[in-house]
Amino acid sequence: MDAGKSGDQFETPVKYLKMVGPRRAEQLARLKIFNVHDLLYHFPREYLDRSRTVSPFGQENGANVTVRGTVISAQETKPRRNLTITRAALDSERGVFYGVWFNQSHVKKVLRPGTELLVSGKLDLGFGAVQVQVHDFEVLNQNGDLLHAGRMVPVYHATTGLSQRMMRSFTYAALEQWEKNYTEFLPRWLMERENLVPISVALRQIHFPDHRENAMEARRRFVFEEFFIIQLQLLKLRQNLTRVQKTHIYAKDNGLQQAYISGLKFELTEAQQRVTGEIMADLDKPYPMNRLLQGDVGSGKTVVAILALLRAVEGGMQGAFMAPTEVLAEQHFLSLTASLEPLGVNVALLRGGMPAKERRALIERIAIGDIAVIVGTQALLQYDVSFKNLALAVIDEQHRFGVRQRAILQEKSVQPDVLIMTATPIPRTLSMTVYGDLDMSVIDTMPPGRQPVRTYYVSPGELPRVFQFVDEQVKTGRQAFVICPLVEESEKMDLQAAEELYTQLIENELRLCRVDLLHGRMPGNEKEAVMHKFRAGETQVLVSTTVIEVGVDVPNANVMVIIDADRFGLAQLHQLRGRVGRGGGEAHCILAARLRTKEAAERIRAMKASNDGFYLAEKDLQIRGPGDVTGVRQSGLPEFKIADLVRDQDLLQVARRRAEELLRSDPNLESEENRSLKEHLHRLRQRENFYHIS
C-alpha cells in the first residue's frame, strides 16, 4: 500500500503532507519528525498572546502589539547590500501607520492595496511616524483559521530552514487531515478520574488553543499520557521479570557472611542492616532480583554488596562485580581481595589491556568456576568471557553503563540476580523514570564518626593561598587531590589541561611535595601504579582529571581542590568531595571558580550549604533540568516531548499510581476497555524513536 494513502498517522511519512514535500521532510527529520504522528506530537514550547488587537496610536514606544490595517501601498528599498526593507502603508480607524519587514522580499507580493492584515511586532515611534517592525502577520480576507496573529500563537522548537510560519502551517495541515484519525486510547475510567481532555480536542487545543486555559488543559493531558505510558512500560517489565524462574538456589548457611561481619572493625549501621535484609529476601525469591541500592558517598554500600556476593559463594556459585572505570575496578579488587581472601574466597580482576596469555588463563579459570568473585570493567561483557554458574551480578554506578550493557551481563548466566549500586543520589522523580522497573533500597544514614567535609569557595586569584594550605596539610602527614578543570567534551583537551596544571604545581607552589599525575588516557597498568603510590602514601598530592570521581578510597586524603568548579555539575562536585574525609578527622573541599552564570553560583552555594547528596541531587534537577543530572545520556532517561520532571513531578506520581492500579486489575490489558491502550502501546513499541525499556 502507498505509505501516503495508508490512513495511518503513525506510518504516513510527513513528506506527503500539504506544503511539506521531500526537502522540508529532510529538515523536519532533524527534529525527529518522520511521520504525521511525530509532527502532531511535536508540541509548542510556548505561546505568544496575539489575541488582543489594539490601535497603534497612543501606545508606548517599543511595545509588542497586534494591530489591524488595510494595505494602501508598499515599497521595497535596499539601503545596503545585505539589507532589504519592505515598507507598507496601512490604514486603520485612527489613521495611517507603517508595517516594516526586514529581509523578507517575499511579503511584497502579499501586500496588494486593499488587503486587510493583522500585524504583530514591536512599535517604533521614531522618525515622526508610527511604525510596527513586523514579527508576524496574517491576511484577513483569506478563508481559513488565523495561525500567526490575532490568537494565541504557538512557538515550536525549529531548525535551520524551517520558520515558525512553516511549522504552524505544517501542523495545521496535519490537524485538518488527521486529527479525526485519533481515537481515544486511555481507558474511560482514567479519563474521568483525572479529568483529562479527549485526545482529538487536546491535539487541536495544544497547537492552536482558543484560550491559554485550553492550552494548559491540553498540556496536562499530554504530560499525564507521557508519564502514564512510560510507567506502564516500566511496570510491565518489572511484572515480566517476576514470571521468570531462576535456576540457582542459595544456601541457607551464612557462615561466610558471619565470618566477614566478625572481621569488620565497625558495626553495621541500622540502614546497612535494613537493606541487607531486603537483598537477602530477594535472593530467596524464585525469580531474579533486580534491585537498585542507593547510598551517599561513604555510606557503606560496598559492605552490603560483599555480603550479597558471599551468599552466592556460600552456595558454590559465582559473583561478578562490574565497575565503570579501571581505577574503580582496581579499587574494588583490592578491597574485595583484602576482605575475602582471608575467608578462602578467590577474587580475580579482569581488565582491558591484559597480556593475552594471562587473560586466556584467567578466562579459563572463570569458565570452570575456579574463581568465585570476578571484578572487572566492561571487559566482563566481551564475547569470550563465560561463567560456570554466575548467580549474582553487582553493577556499580549503573548510570555510566547503557541498558544494553547491563542486559549483556545478565545474558552471561541463566537469569542471575542483579544488584545495581549508585553513589549518585537520584531524585525521586528521576528514579521513577530511569529505574522504575527496579526495586529500590536506600542507605540513608552515614557511619558514626564521619564528619561533614568543610567546603569553601575561592576565586581563581586566591589559588596561591589555597596551594599554600595544601602544602601545610601535607607537612602534617595528610594527602590531597587537585582536580583539573573540564575543558570540553574531549579527553585530549582535559589531558592537556591536567599536564599544564601538574607542571605548574611541581615547578612552583608544590615543588617541595611529592606530586603525581593521573588521567584517563593512561594505560591501565600506569593508572594502577599511580594509585598504588598514592594509596601507600608515597605520593602526597595527586593531580587528576575526573577519573577519580567515584570509588577511589584513600583514607589519609583530607583536602580536595577543584579547579574551575563552575564547569562541573552538582552531582559530580559532590562525588569528588566524597573522596576526602574517609579516614575520619577534619576534611576540606575548596572550590575555585569564576561564577560566570547564575546557575554556577547556585551550585556553589548549594555545595557550601549541604553535604547531603539527596538534597544536592534535587537541587541539581532544579538548576539543570533532568537532561544530564544522572551523568550521561545512556542513563536511560527518556527524552520527554512535553513533560517536565521538575514542574510536573506531582503528575508523575499520580500517573505511576494509576498505572499500578490498572495492572493490578488487568495485568495483560486484555479487557475490552483496555484494548485500545494495548494496541496503542504495541504501535509505539514498533517505532524506532519511541522510548524502549526492554
- Give tens-digit pLDDT for 288-326: 898 888 887 778 888 999 999 999 998 889 999 988 777
CATH number at residue 79: 2.40.50.140
114 and 71 within one domain? yes
Backbone angles phi and psi of 70, in degrees to 5: -110, 130
Rounded Cα distance between 634 and 478, Å, is 38
Rounded Cα distance between 374 and 360, Å, is 14
User: Grid coordinates representing 152?
Assistant: 494565541
First to last CA, the chain: 30
Q: How many CB atoms within 10 Å of residue 65?
A: 18
Q: What is the mean pLDDT of residues 352-374?
A: 89
pLDDT for 388 beyond 50: yes
Better-predicted residue by pLDDT, 427 or 691: 427
Rounded Cα distance between 383 and 563, Å, is 40
Q: How many CB atoms within 10 Å of residue 674?
A: 21
User: pLDDT of 231-242, one tens digit each?
Assistant: 898 888 778 777
Task: Determine, yes or no, domain membership for 420.
Answer: yes
434 and 490 within one domain? no
* Residue 404 confidence (pLDDT): 56
* Residue 615 confidence (pLDDT): 81
User: pLDDT of 318-347, one tens digit each?
Assistant: 999 988 777 778 878 888 898 898 999 999
Confidence of residue 22 (pLDDT cuts 50, 70, 90): very high
* Residue 578 confidence (pLDDT): 84
pLDDT for 215 beyond 90: yes
Q: What is the mean pLDDT of residues 617-640?
A: 59
Provide the 3-class DSSP secondary structure of residue 430: helix
Q: Which domain holds residue 56?
A: 52-150
Position 381: which residue type? L
Task: Determine, yes or no, domain membership for 434.
Answer: yes
Q: How many residues does the chain have?
A: 694
Picking from 314, 317, 247, 240, the residue whose alpha carbon sits closest to that of residue 286 is 247
pLDDT for 694 beyond 50: no
| Weakest mean pLDDT among 19-33, 457-471, 672-686 | 672-686
Task: Determine, yes or no, domain membership for 673.
Answer: no
* Residue 690 confidence (pLDDT): 44
Per-chain mean pLDDT for the chain:
84
* Residue 364 confidence (pLDDT): 92
The H or E element spanning position 118 is strand 116-124
Backbone angles phi and psi of 57, in degrees to 5: -95, 140
Q: Tally the domains of the chain.
A: 3
* Residue 630 confidence (pLDDT): 43
Q: What is the mean pLDDT of residues 93-119?
A: 91
383 and 488 within one domain? no
Better-predicted residue by pLDDT, 523 or 402: 523
601 and 508 within one domain? yes
Task: Determine, yes or no, domain membership for 694.
Answer: no
462 and 390 within one domain? no
Task: Determine, yes or no, domain membership for 93.
Answer: yes
Residue with cell string 535596499: 78
460 and 438 within one domain? no
User: pLDDT of 145-200, one tens digit each?
Assistant: 788 888 899 999 988 889 899 999 999 999 999 988 889 999 999 999 999 999 99
Backbone angles phi and psi of 49, in degrees to 5: -85, 95
By DSSP bridging, strand 131-139 and strand 95-102 are parallel
- Of 610-614, 618-622, 633-637, give the range with the top mean pLDDT: 610-614
* Residue 425 confidence (pLDDT): 67
Task: Determine, yes or no, domain membership for 243.
Answer: no
Helix, strand, coil percentages (3-state) for the chain, rounded to 5, are: 45, 20, 40
Percent of the chain with pLDDT strictly greater than 90: 38
Percent of the chain with pLDDT strictly greater than 70: 88
Rounded Cα distance between 411 and 484, Å, is 38
375 and 356 within one domain? yes
Domain boundary among 120, 150, 180: 150
Mind giving me the DSSP string for 390-414? EEEEEEESGGGS-HHHHHHHHHTSS
Q: What is the mean pLDDT of residues 677-682?
A: 89
* Residue 9 confidence (pLDDT): 82
The answer to whether residues 522 and 548 touch, using CB atoms and an 8 Å cutoff, is no
Q: What's the 3-state SS for 86-99?
A: EEEEEEECCEEEEE
Residue with cell string 554500600: 301
User: pLDDT of 578-600, one tens digit each?
Assistant: 888 877 778 999 999 888 888 88
411 and 337 within one domain? yes
* Residue 632 confidence (pLDDT): 34
* Residue 51 confidence (pLDDT): 85
* Residue 195 confidence (pLDDT): 96
Task: Determine, yes or no, domain membership for 322.
Answer: yes
Domain boundary among 610, 641, 668: 610
User: pLDDT of 543-556, one tens digit each?
Assistant: 988 776 555 678 89
Angle between helices 524-535 and 326-340 (to 10 degrees): 60
Rounded Cα distance between 548 and 28, Å, is 42
Domain boundary among 403, 420, 443: 443
432 and 474 within one domain? no
CATH number at residue 417: 3.40.50.300
Residues 6 or more apart whose Cβ sits within 8 Å of residue 548? 327, 481, 483, 518, 542, 576, 579
496 and 421 within one domain? no
* Residue 485 confidence (pLDDT): 75
421 and 463 within one domain? no
pLDDT for 684 beyond 50: yes
Q: What is the mean pLDDT of residues 426-449?
A: 74
Confidence of residue 86 (pLDDT cuts 50, 70, 90): very high
Is the whole model's pTM more than 0.75, yes or no? no
Confidence of residue 576 (pLDDT cuts 50, 70, 90): confident
Rounded Cα distance between 104 and 108, Å, is 8
Task: Determine, yes or no, domain membership for 396.
Answer: yes
Better-predicted residue by pLDDT, 557 or 327: 557
Q: ∠ at Cα 435 (430, 437), nearest 5°?
A: 135
316 and 373 within one domain? yes
